[in-house]
Amino acid sequence: MEIKITFPGNKKVYAEVNGQVIPTDQPVIQGGDGTAPSPFAHFLASIGTCAGIYVLAFCRERNIPTENVTLTERLVYANDSEGRQFLDTIAIDINVPPDFPEKYHKALVRVADQCAVKKAIANPPKFAVSTIVR
């Protein structure tokens, strides 16, 4: 798989994946136009949406309505020994309505844990960055 990265103007950076464009921008306060989420926001959203696709598939396989099922992703920060803040925990709550079958509550957690994005973070790939003259 290849992803093409382009610079359409100001602080916008776009990624083209399989013919679809994923726009990113920086907030106005950081000199961007604020027209799209930042790359880091996309990264964080990919974790929640990845878990969500597994929850959605689980519910669909069992004909469980998903209209009132949501996920809430929360970022928990901590300080290192020098007082610098860092992202310590990404917490995901799977919110279900009262009539959601209780026997599936733990199973939802297990399927959300199958998220490929989470697995890639847990077992990080190597990075190889180079400059190519074309």
Query: Domain spanning 37-122: which CATH class is it, in words?
Result: alpha beta
Q: Which amino acid is at 92?
A: I
The pLDDT of residue 107 is: 98
Q: Looking at residues 43-49, what average pLDDT do you find?
A: 97
Q: Please state the pTM of the whole predicted model.
A: 0.88
The pLDDT of residue 37 is: 98
Judging by DSSP bridges, how do beta strands 12-17 and 85-95 pair with one another?
unpaired
pLDDT in tens, 80-127: 999 999 999 999 999 999 999 999 999 999 999 999 999 999 999 999
- Domain limits of the chain? 37-122
HSE of 102 in the Cβ direction (CA atoms, 13 Å)?
A: 1
Q: For 87-106, give the DSSP string.
A: EEEEEEEEE--TTS-GGGHH
Whole-angstrom CA distances from 113 to 8, 50, 130 are 36, 10, 33
The pLDDT of residue 63 is: 97
pLDDT in tens, 3-35: 999 999 999 999 999 999 999 999 999 999 999
Coil, strand, or helix at residue 113? Answer: coil
